[in-house]
Amino acid sequence: MNMTQDLSIIELVANASLVVKLVMTLLTVVSVMSWYYIFRKWFAIRDARIKTDKFERDFWSGGNLDTLYQSAVNDRHHTGALERIFEAGFREFTKLRGQRTLDPATVIDGVRRAMRATYQREIDDLEAHLAFLASVGSVSPYVGLFGTVWGIMHSFRGLASMVSATLAAVAPGIAEALVATAIGLFAAIPAVVAYNRYAHDADRLAVRFESFMEEFSNILQRQLK
């Protein structure tokens, strides 16, 4: 077998030690899962942004709140996060407003609590699996480095039985070990980039949701006067 064949990626993976193969397999599985969550989260955040934009246009166009509420209730399975926050707040407002014994401050406080509870659920959903991406981005290089160190140790142990140690003899073993680090970086880099991007997008949506809740609470408070 010539040197080109020895140092091809497939040959390096096939000839790696058992521990290095296990590390490579683990990193490959983690990388596949990471890409699955990257695409899934991209679609989820894009959908949340589109639906938020649409509902804000409808809300600030001066439409009737009762009409918006009925639309949200009737199409609950296709509404966006902001529309569900509005629905929770307006439902609570309608329920508490009918109780004559409650003062306006108590009504608004109840509306804010209802919207805050829905807000927390929506943010948790937007941030789901981001912790996994963060873990992949931070841990994968070290897992790959472990495989590399183990592979290099295995290569040098093999030199003990050789009469003369040459670079050609040790190079394939070291190359096999370095593949583990390469796979670790391949898993980590997209996960880090995706985590930073999606965490930023989720924070921006959270700010928009909080601003809406404050503005909507002020609108309802004026209706009670």
Query: 12: domain range?
Result: 3-223
Query: pLDDT (tens digit, 9 = 90+) per residue, 38-84?
Result: 999 999 999 999 999 999 999 998 878 889 999 888 887 788 999 99
Q: In this structure, are residues 143 and 27 in contact, taking their beta carbons and an 8 Å threshold? A: yes
pLDDT score at 148: 84
pLDDT score at 4: 43
pLDDT score at 3: 44
More confident residue, 79 or 169: 79
Which residue in the block uniquely carries the two structure tokens 């880090």? Answer: 192
Chain centre to alpha carbon of residue 150: 32
Asked whether residue 140 carries a pLDDT value surpassing 90, the answer given is yes
Q: What is the mean pLDDT of the chain?
A: 86
Mean pLDDT, range 127-152, rounded to an integer? 91
More confident residue, 167 or 157: 157
Inter-CA distances, 199 with 123, 125, 134, Å: 11, 12, 10
Nearest to 192 by CA among 136, 127, 142, 144: 136
Mean pLDDT, range 118-138, rounded to an integer? 94
Mean pLDDT, range 99-108, rounded to an integer? 84
Query: In the chain, how many domains are there?
Result: 1
pLDDT score at 2: 45
pLDDT score at 9: 65
Q: In this structure, are residues 49 and 205 in contact, taking their beta carbons and an 8 Å threshold? A: yes
Query: pLDDT (tens digit, 9 = 90+) per residue, 175-213?
Result: 777 888 888 999 999 999 999 999 999 999 999 999 999
What pTM was estimated for this model as a whole? 0.82
pLDDT score at 170: 63
Asked whether residue 109 carries a pLDDT value surpassing 90, the answer given is yes
